[in-house]
Amino acid sequence: MIEVAGLRVVLPPAVVAVDGIDLAIQSGEFVVILGRSGSGKTTFLRALNRLVEPTAGRVRVAGRAVTGAGPAELRAARRQIGVIFQQFNLVRRASVLDNVLAGRLGYVAPVPSLAGRFPAADRTLARECLGRVGLAHLAERRADTLSGGEQQRVAIARALAQAPSVILADEPTASLDPALTTEIMGILRSINVERGLTLVVSQHQLETALAYATRIVGLRRGRVSFDGPPAAVTPAVVDAIYGGEEGNPPRVPLDRGERQ
Amino acid sequence: MRRAAIFVSLVVLAWVAWDTGADPWRLARGLPWIADFLRRMLPPDPSVLPAALKGALLTVEIALLGTAVAAVLALPLGFLSARNVAPAPIFYPARTVLNLFRSVDTLVYALIFVAAVGLGPFPGVLAVIAYTTTSLAKLYSEAIEGIEPGPVDAITATGATRLQILRFGVLPQVLPLFLSYILYRLETNIRAATILGFVGAGGIGFYLQTYLRMIDYPAASTVLLVTIAMVMVVDAASSRLRARLV
């Protein structure tokens, strides 16, 4: 489903964020990417749909080339990759429904969409996706009037509206409290189980990662430092992922760090 | 370093004061004449009120039409001169053109357009458009450069086209700011448009200049009072609207 070969990303001015990753992810896997801040998790995920441009290497998702694709091919590849962000990234002033409808932009005719017109079928689908995350009743509300947990659910609905084959989630719960973390990860798991969607989720919380993943990939300084099932994550593995030159390895989930 | 800066500033100011013939005593000697001028303006002549109101309405119309057209024309220019949206080969020329046109004031444009299309409110409208388009485009582009990148990433990730990204990721973020800038420009254009009549480009300034030239000070003071009232009413209405936007 996702094939990554020799992926390398150098961010300006000269930061090697991803330093040669090879990874093959099968359809239906729930992969959690673990690693401390700055290990390259975010850059890796953003390179998978070229929100950042890879410096070298090859990425294919659901049978389509992402790297080397022309503008139209890239858009076609992107629309099958739903993305969920740490900061939700909703358009604040737009309604909840309009935010979810944005997930259809890769499918609808561009010109009418610029006038804000979407086919009835897409509107229905958007409402269904909102219902899937339990927010159908908030469709007309302005996005920025919702709580953080609700906003992230809207973002999940937007990703679902893309009818994706893959969902990438970059620290989807880092801005939320523990109860909401369980809720959001639960929704992601049910999507994974019910629809067979492939999920790649970055997390800095070890416990959460172990509870939901079918496969753990540890990143350290832009390289894969561990790849295996949650059951194989031993203290030595944790040390390999987190341990390091900068201070103590966070034996237990490093949890408060990136929260607001 | 700081001392040197202060010293240089003082020298420059002194020289400028000398060169412009700035002289407080001369102003003091002139004060009685200003008092005399004000006395001769009173009481205002109510018989010219209809003419003054007509002029005021025309001034508002000039500012309104000019601002409205400029607000639309500035849209593409604003996007093309925003660093985070336009590619560099477009951005730099667009910025340069904006700065070039913005350095000329509405009044100067009015002189040019009066020469081109003749007297009346129309050259006034054109002058307002010419200045406001570029100044709004500059404000637009700064608003665009200040947007949050997150929603733009999210829209990009859906497989949207460039135009769709602008429409759904950028525009909703900047639209309230744009409207606020347009209203602000409307306020300043009303003030600019009062002067346009002085160079033959229509509106209330024409009456003010005419009565002053005829040494009909009571009539001129009526026009002046109407101008003040007009500006205050528009400012109040516009700032109330703007407060709602942000």
- Bridge-based pairing of strands A215-220 and A223-228 is antiparallel
Interface of A with B in 86-145 (CB under 8 A): 87-94, 102-107, 110, 113-114
Residue B182: predicted pLDDT: 93
Q: Which residue has the higher pLDDT, A253 or A129?
A: A129
CA–centroid distance for A177 within its chain: 18
Given a cut of 80, whether residue B4 has pLDDT beyond it is yes
Q: Which member of B155, B163, B172 has the closest CB to residue A110?
A: B163
Give the pLDDT confidence of B64-77 residue by residue, as tens digits. 999 999 999 999 89
Say if the Cβ atoms of A105 and B168 lie within 8 Å: yes
Given a cut of 50, whether residue B147 has pLDDT beyond it is yes
Cα A127–A132–A201 angle (5° rounding)?
Answer: 120
What are the Cα distances from residue A257, in Å, to A37, A39, A171, A175, A260? 9, 14, 12, 10, 9
Report the 3 state secondary structure along B205-226: HHHHHHHHHCCCHHHHHHHHHH
pLDDT grade for A65, boundaries at 50, 70 and 90: very high
What are the Cα distances from residue B37, in Å, to B42, B204, B210, B215? 9, 21, 17, 10
Q: Report the alpha-carbon distance of residue A1 to residue A13 in Å, rounded.
A: 32
Q: Report the alpha-carbon distance of residue B167 to residue A111 in Å, rounded.
A: 11
The average confidence (pLDDT) of chain B is 88
pLDDT grade for A244, boundaries at 50, 70 and 90: low
Give the pLDDT confidence of A153-207 residue by residue, as tens digits. 999 999 999 999 999 999 999 988 888 999 999 999 999 998 889 999 999 888 8
Given a cut of 50, whether residue A253 has pLDDT beyond it is no
Q: Which member of B159, B163, B175 has the closest CB to residue A78?
A: B159
Check if A75 contacts B (Cβ < 8 Å): yes
Give the pLDDT confidence of B80-94 residue by residue, as tens digits. 888 888 888 888 888
Given a cut of 70, whether residue A106 has pLDDT beyond it is yes
Check if B100 contacts A (Cβ < 8 Å): no
Given a cut of 80, whether residue A245 has pLDDT beyond it is no
Cα B165–B168–B170 angle (5° rounding)?
Answer: 75
Q: What is this structure's pTM?
A: 0.78
* ipTM summary value: 0.89
What are the Cα distances from residue B213, in Å, to A235, B76, B221? 94, 44, 13
Q: Which member of A77, A83, A107 has the closest CB to residue B154?
A: A83
Specify the 3-state DSSP secondary structure of A49: coil
Domain boundaries, chain B: 44-245
Helical (H) or strand (E) element with A30: strand A30-34
Check if B179 contacts A (Cβ < 8 Å): no
Chain A residues with beta carbon closer than 8 angstroms to that of B176: 93
Say if the Cβ atoms of A155 and B154 lie within 8 Å: yes
pLDDT grade for A137, boundaries at 50, 70 and 90: very high
Tokens of A171: 């620290």
Q: Look at chain A and count its residues.
A: 260
Given a cut of 80, whether residue B217 has pLDDT beyond it is yes
Check if B120 contacts A (Cβ < 8 Å): no
Given a cut of 50, whether residue B226 has pLDDT beyond it is yes
Distance from CA of A85 to the nearest CA of B (A): 8
Query: Scanning every residue of chain A, which has its alpha carbon at the shortest distance from the alpha carbon of B150?
Result: A89
Q: Which residue has the tokens 């990303």?
A: A9
Give the pLDDT confidence of B169-184 residue by residue, as tens digits. 999 999 989 999 999 9
Given a cut of 80, whether residue A67 has pLDDT beyond it is yes
Give the pLDDT confidence of B94-111 residue by residue, as tens digits. 888 888 888 888 888 988
Domain B44-245: give its CATH superfamily: MetI-like (1.10.3720.10)
